Amino acid sequence: MTLQEQINAHLKNAILTENTDVKSILRVLIGELNQKGKVHSDVVVVAAVKKLIESAKIIIASPDAGDRIASALKEISILETYLPKQLSEEALRSSIKGVISLNSYTVKDMGKVMSFLKDNYAGQYDGKLASVIVKEILK
């Protein structure tokens, strides 16, 4: 079952169980996805989920957030269930070391390493952390 199918199933369940919080958040997510078409890969769905999470984090960081903080935190907790499990720093470092040593990459090949991570671990790592680790290993 694709991530999009899971979200649609969870929306139907939220409607049946009258879970208004989940229902409203999933409707926003589905609306965001429908602006880009009807059928999406998991990578596209994860990107949309991350976008909504970032929007909620901006609300939390806002000095005039007030009552909206609780709903933004709830939104984040619901949306995070649709993100893939994140690689630990050790696992990410190990994967990076492996691809670098396997292909004998140099500093000039940082883009190739990052492309490998994107292709094989999409949505499962922090890009900034990966970039720091790649630079550190390639030095």
Do 77 and 129 reside in the same domain of the chain?
no
CATH code, domain with 37: 1.10.1510
60: confidence class by pLDDT, cuts 50, 70, 90: confident
Q: Quick one: pLDDT at residue 22?
A: 95
Q: Which two tokens stand for residue 77?
A: 């907790």
CATH code, domain with 134: 1.10.10
Do 131 and 67 reside in the same domain of the chain?
no
The Cα 57–Cα 40 span in angstroms is: 25
pLDDT in tens, 74-85: 999 999 999 988
- Mean pLDDT for 51-78 is 89
Cβ(30)–Cβ(39) under 8 Å?
no
Q: Quick one: pLDDT at residue 63?
A: 84
Q: Quick one: pLDDT at residue 48?
A: 93
For residue 100, the enclosing domain spans 89-138
pLDDT in tens, 11-50: 999 999 999 999 999 999 999 999 988 888 888 898 899 9
